A and B are shown apart, each in its own frame.
Chain A
Amino acid sequence: MQHQLKAGKNSRRLSQSQRIMIVIAVVALVVFYAVFFIFPIGYALTGSFFNWMPTKRVFSFVGLENYRKIFEQSTLGLAMGNTLVFTVVVTLGRTLLGLFFAALIYSMRRGRVLFRTIYFIPVITSTVAVSMVWKWMYEPSNGPLNYYLSLAGIAPQRFLIDSSQALWCVMAMTIWKETGYAMVMYMAGMTGIPGTLYEAAEMDGCTRWQAFRYITFPLLKTTTEFILLTSFVTYCQTFTQIDLMTKGGPGKASYTMVYYLYQEAFGNNRFGRASAIAFVLFAVILVFSVLQLRITRTKEAEKHA
Chain B
Amino acid sequence: MPESRGKITFSGILKLLVLCAGACAMLYPFVFMILSSFKNNAEIIRNPPTFIPEVFTWDNYRKVFEENRFGRFFFNSVWLTCLKTSIILYSSAYFGYVFAKLRFRGKEALFLFVLATMMIPWPVTIVPQYQLMGWLGWVGEYTSLIIPSLFSTFGIFMMRQYMAAVPDELIEAARIDSAGEFTIFHRIVLPDVIPAVSALGIFQFLWVWDDYLWPFLMMQSMDRYTLPVGLSLFNGQYYNDNGGIFAAATISVLPVILVYLLFQRQFVEGIALTGIKG
**Would you list which residues of chain B between 159 and 215 have a CB under 8 Å from chain A?**
161, 164-165, 168, 172, 175, 180-182, 185, 195, 199, 202, 206, 209-210, 212
Size of the chain B interface, CB-CB below 8 angstroms: 92
A195–chain B nearest beta-carbon distance, Å = 8
B249 touching A41, Cβ below 8 Å: no
Q: Which residue of B lies closest to A142 (CB)?
A: B47
A133 touching B2, Cβ below 8 Å: no
B119 touching A101, Cβ below 8 Å: no
B182 touching A21, Cβ below 8 Å: yes
A271 touching B124, Cβ below 8 Å: yes
Please name all residues of chain B whose beta carbon is closer than 8 Å to the beta carbon of A64 when the two chains form the complex: none
B124 touching A33, Cβ below 8 Å: no
A191 touching B271, Cβ below 8 Å: yes
B128 touching A40, Cβ below 8 Å: yes
Residue from the list A30, A41, A111 in contact with B117, Cβ < 8 A: A41
Given contacts A36-B129, A41-B117, A286-B119, contact A106 B1 (CB under 8 A): yes
Residue from the list B22, B95, B161, B235 in contact with A101, Cβ < 8 A: B22
Looking at A128, A132, A134, the one whose CB has the most chain B CB atoms below 10 A away is A128
Residue from the list B102, B124, B206 in contact with A275, Cβ < 8 A: B124
**Would you list which residues of chain B between 38 and 72 have a CB under 8 Å from chain A?**
45-49
B200–chain A nearest beta-carbon distance, Å = 12
Residue from the list B121, B161, B235 in contact with A261, Cβ < 8 A: B121
Q: Is A15 an interface residue (CB 8 A)?
A: yes
Q: Is A125 an interface residue (CB 8 A)?
A: yes
A25–chain B nearest beta-carbon distance, Å = 4
Residue from the list B132, B161, B264, B268 in contact with A39, Cβ < 8 A: B132
Residue from the list A15, A28, A124, A132 in contact with B202, Cβ < 8 A: A124
**Would you list which residues of chain B between 90 and 136 have a CB under 8 Å from chain A?**
91, 94-95, 98, 102-104, 108, 110, 113-114, 116-125, 127-129, 131-132
Residue from the list B18, B124, B154 in contact with A44, Cβ < 8 A: B124
A193 touching B256, Cβ below 8 Å: no
B19 touching A22, Cβ below 8 Å: no
B32 touching A39, Cβ below 8 Å: no
As a 0/1 sequence over residues 145 to 159 of chain B, the CB contacts with chain A under 8 angstroms (1 = contact) are: 000101100100110
Given contacts A120-B260, A265-B124, contact A192 B278 (CB under 8 A): yes
Please name all residues of chain B whose beta carbon is closer than 8 Å to the beta carbon of A278 when the two chains form the complex: 120-121, 123-124
Q: Is B223 an interface residue (CB 8 A)?
A: no
B188–chain A nearest beta-carbon distance, Å = 14
Q: Is A252 an interface residue (CB 8 A)?
A: no
B217–chain A nearest beta-carbon distance, Å = 11
Q: Is B222 an interface residue (CB 8 A)?
A: no
Q: Is B233 an interface residue (CB 8 A)?
A: no
A118 touching B23, Cβ below 8 Å: yes
Residue from the list A143, A187, A208 in contact with B1, Cβ < 8 A: A208
Please name all residues of chain B whose beta carbon is closer than 8 Å to the beta carbon of A147 when the two chains form the complex: 47-49
Q: Is A168 an interface residue (CB 8 A)?
A: no
Given contacts A21-B102, A21-B182, A41-B117, contact A32 B150 (CB under 8 A): yes
Please name all residues of chain B whose beta carbon is closer than 8 Å to the beta carbon of A261 when the two chains form the complex: 121, 123-124
As a 0/1 sequence over residues 240 to 274 of chain B, the CB contacts with chain A under 8 angstroms (1 = contact) are: 00100110010011001100110010001001101
Please name all residues of chain B whose beta carbon is closer than 8 Å to the beta carbon of A105 when the two chains form the complex: 19
Q: Is A121 an interface residue (CB 8 A)?
A: yes
* Distance of A130 Cα from B172 Cα, bound (Å): 47
Give the contact stretch, choosing among A3-11, A86-94, A159-167, A297-305.
Answer: A3-11
- Given A119-B23, A126-B252, A126-B256, 16 more pairs with CB closer than 8 A: A15-B181, A25-B98, A29-B95, A30-B110, A43-B128, A44-B124, A108-B16, A133-B249, A176-B29, A184-B199, A188-B199, A191-B275, A222-B165, A233-B119, A278-B121, A278-B123
Listed from nearest, the 7 A-B pairs whose CB atoms lie closest are: A192-B278, A40-B128, A43-B128, A40-B125, A142-B47, A17-B181, A129-B249
Residues of B whose CB lies within 8 Å of any CB of A are: 1-3, 5, 15-16, 18-19, 22-23, 25-27, 29-30, 32-33, 36, 45-49, 91, 94-95, 98, 102-104, 108, 110, 113-114, 116-125, 127-129, 131-132, 148, 150-151, 154, 157-158, 161, 164-165, 168, 172, 175, 180-182, 185, 195, 199, 202, 206, 209-210, 212, 228, 235, 242, 245-246, 249, 252-253, 256-257, 260-261, 264, 268, 271-272, 274-275, 277-278
